[in-house]
């Protein structure tokens, strides 16, 4: 369905995008510092599933609605800002807890990653700008091509972001013997989430 030459072009481009530090990577880093490696990897899985939902919506043409209707874009964006600020407050509030003592289950971390991704309208706009370059309607159903390319992009993102979160969780665990270090990690993870909220708040369509 997708030409092998197209895939050979797409895979390296997707890998470069996955390795470029961005909101998803910083979110998983913050989750690793806040709650540990396992929740961070679950959050990365949630981010990837959210990405696939965006890809599906873009393939169905619904992404064009978000791109064209200002209030829809802004509504999603401000929900995302509010959720990230909620996570930032939680990270600061629980800054004295040792890594792993935070009541962040893998299921809850997965939902957090999913919500953060779905409430970032920039993702679907990126999908609309990036994936169509590699889609050829003459090769078969457009939605199927979107899903294949999206799966490659999401899988690479999961591996990279989960790795970042895993090592952040390990580093955080090494520092939890010190109350001062725990407080610093709480402020660092809270600052990351607040910074992502600010970044999302000031983004232009």
pLDDT digits (tens, 9 = 90+) for 185-198: 667 767 877 887 78
Residues in the chain: 205
Proportion of the chain above pLDDT 90, given as a percent:
19
- Is pLDDT above 60 for 96? no
CA–CA gap between residue 182 and residue 189 (Å, rounded): 10
Return the pLDDT at 188.
Answer: 72
Which is higher by pLDDT, 12 or 137? Answer: 12
Which is higher by pLDDT, 186 or 204? Answer: 186
Q: Where are the domains of the chain?
A: 30-201
Give just the sign of the alpha carbon dihedral 153, 155, 158, 163.
Answer: negative
Write down the number of H helices and E strands in the chain: 9, 0
Return the pLDDT at 175.
Answer: 54
Q: How far from chain centre, in Å, is Cα 47?
A: 4
* DSSP codes, 86-111: HHHHHHHHTTTSPTTTS---HHHHHH
Proportion of the chain above pLDDT 70, given as a percent:
79
Do residues 50 and 117 touch, judged by C-beta distance below 8 A? Answer: yes
Mean pLDDT of the chain: 79
Return the pLDDT at 44.
Answer: 95
Do residues 111 and 47 touch, judged by C-beta distance below 8 A? Answer: no
Q: How far from chain centre, in Å, is Cα 136?
A: 27
CA–CA gap between residue 81 and residue 36 (Å, rounded): 23
Return the pLDDT at 182.
Answer: 59
- Which tens digits make up the pLDDT trace of 49-95? 999 999 998 888 766 666 667 776 677 778 778 877 877 787 677 65
- Residue 204: how many CB atoms within 10 A of its CB? 5
Return the pLDDT at 172.
Answer: 62
CA–CA gap between residue 55 and residue 153 (Å, rounded): 10
The arithmetic mean of pLDDT across residues 125-153, rounded, is 84
CA–CA gap between residue 149 and residue 154 (Å, rounded): 9
Return the pLDDT at 64.
Answer: 66
Place of tokens 């919506």: 57
CA–CA gap between residue 176 and residue 97 (Å, rounded): 8
The arithmetic mean of pLDDT across residues 90-117, rounded, is 73
């Amino acid at each position: 369905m997708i030409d092998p030459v197209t895939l050979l072009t797409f895979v390296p481009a997707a890998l470069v995008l996955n390795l470029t530090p961005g909101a998803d990577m910083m979110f998983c880093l913050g989750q690793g510092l806040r709650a540990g490696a396992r929740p961070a990897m679950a959050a990365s899985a949630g981010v990837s599933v959210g990405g696939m939902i965006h890809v599906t919506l873009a393939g169905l043409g619904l992404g064009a609605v978000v791109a064209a209707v200002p209030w829809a874009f802004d509504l999603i964006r401000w929900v995302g800002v509010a959720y990230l600020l909620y996570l930032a407050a939680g990270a600061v509030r629980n800054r004295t807890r040792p890594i792993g003592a935070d009541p962040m289950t893998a299921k809850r971390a997965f939902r957090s990653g999913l919500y953060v991704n779905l409430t970032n309208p920039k993702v679907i706009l990126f999908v609309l700008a990036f994936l169509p370059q590699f889609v050829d309607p003459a090769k078969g159903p457009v939605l199927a091509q979107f899903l294949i390319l999206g799966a490659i992009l999401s899988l690479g993102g999961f591996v990279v972001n989960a790795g970042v979160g895993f090592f952040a969780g390990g580093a955080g665990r090494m520092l939890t013997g010190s109350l001062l270090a725990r407080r610093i990690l709480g402020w660092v993870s809270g600052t990351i989430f607040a910074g992502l909220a600010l970044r999302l708040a000031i983004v232009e369509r």
